[in-house]
Amino acid sequence: MAIQKKIPEVLAPAGDFERLVAALTFGADAVYLGGKEFGMRATPQNFDRQQMEQAVELAHSKGVPVYVTCNTLPSNDEIQRLPDYLHFLVDIGVDALIVADIGVLMLCKREIPEMEIHMSTQTGIVNYLTANELYRLGVKRVVLARELSLDAIREIREKTPPDLEIEAFVHGAMCMSFSGRCLLSSYMTHRDANRGACAQPCRWGYYLMEEKRPGEYYKLEEDEKGSYILNAKDLCMIEYIDKLVQAGITSLKIEGRAKSAYYVSVVTNAYRCAVDQYLRDPAHFQLDSWLLEEVKKVSHRQYSTGFYFGRPEQGQYYENGGYIRSFDVIGVVRRWEDGALYGEQRNKFGEGDWIEVLPPRNRAERLQVRELKNGAGEPIDFAPHAAMEFSFACERPFPPGSILRKKVSI
């Protein structure tokens, strides 16, 4: 049975099974993930075939479609392995493939014509002509280039068939190269960004040195510490859900398959709540302030609105390549029972600490740790060991999967 898509769709990343569960728990309308080959995130995690089948089964049990990335530019020796992989994805019930290469697209249309195809942002779709031609080739959805403004997206929507879905990134890391097409990583580290192994050299610090003055380093813009001239800010469009939908975007994509389960939980939850708020009163949408604060409670670079409101004047961050981090996840709730919250530890915390509990599809609540005990029910002052079981007194129940976090001490 086909799964009914939601519009607007909150599309969340799932880099492994833990992050898949996080996305599903915190309200994703759809998830995207990758296998061990052919996807644009070459991490040790991803999903082997058995895990992929389990992932699809779990997501479908919750009415959530699964889109699988097949968006690298495959080499000649990989092509022969691709048909078998495509048929496997059909057999386990994957809902759509995300592809970037025209040859892969045509292979899909021949080998698995029943599979829905989404054309990746790697394709560089920036106009209605390209979108229409891809539609004629059987593409169901276009994932637009991140370099487009809302006005450009609106024109694409007006000049394409209504049943062509439009997906766009609304949150997460951006790239200094056009829609991810970069040779810098491959050149400097032999890790190919176009094959999922980007080393992010655009985030590194650089100096300027004149060839006849070796060892004499000149500042580029900032100070003697150098300048991160290629370092893009992160994208955040949570305040503008109404404008994104009005422009014709049907799927709001969160970047982050390589990021933590905590990131997936918090950002998915924030966009879920923001979209729900929009749907309750589209004509008068104004984001609740706590939701903007939520996306600042994950590790991130300084935020910007990317190209949505025109060419960004402040799209880069020059001082360093690091992240802003204000909270640590300290545990995950497993159950509530008889006035106690039971969970599994992630980072150290102790008796008397003030923490926040973030329940799925809801606002975080602040409480103090009291009567902390280990898994055996013995009183303890601290929970110091990763993955240890613990409990503490808690008057109100919180659902399984809720996140426990603590403000980072500065």
DSSP calls for 259-294: S-HHHHHHHHHHHHHHHHHHHH-GGG----HHHHHH
**Residue 318, pLDDT score:** 47
What phi, psi does 166 have (nearest 5°)? -120, 120
pLDDT string in tens for the chain (410-residue length): 578 899 999 999 999 999 999 999 999 999 999 998 876 665 557 899 999 999 999 999 999 999 999 988 888 988 999 999 999 999 999 999 999 999 999 999 999 999 999 999 989 999 999 999 999 999 999 999 988 999 999 999 999 999 999 999 999 987 766 666 676 776 678 887 766 788 888 778 777 777 788 888 766 655 665 656 666 788 999 999 999 999 999 999 999 888 999 999 999 999 999 999 999 999 999 999 999 999 999 988 888 898 899 876 655 554 555 667 889 999 999 999 999 999 999 999 999 999 999 999 999 999 999 999 999 999 999 998 889 999 999 999 999 999 999 998 75
**Residue 324, pLDDT score:** 75
Please calculate the CA angle 5-300-151 and round it to the nearest 5 degrees.
Answer: 55
Under a CB-based contact definition with an 8 Å cutoff, are residues 58 and 275 in contact?
no
Three-state DSSP state, 242: helix
Q: How many other C-beta atoms can be found within 10 angstroms of the C-beta atom of residue 128?
A: 18
Helix axes of 82-91 and 102-111: crossing angle, nearest 10 degrees: 50
The single-letter code of the amino acid at 222 is E
**Residue 224, pLDDT score:** 60
Please calculate the CA angle 295-301-307 and round it to the nearest 5 degrees.
Answer: 85
**Residue 223, pLDDT score:** 60
**3-state helix vs strand vs coil in the chain, percent to 5:** 30, 25, 45
Residue listed under structure tokens 């813009």 = 221
Encoded tokens for 115: 């599979």
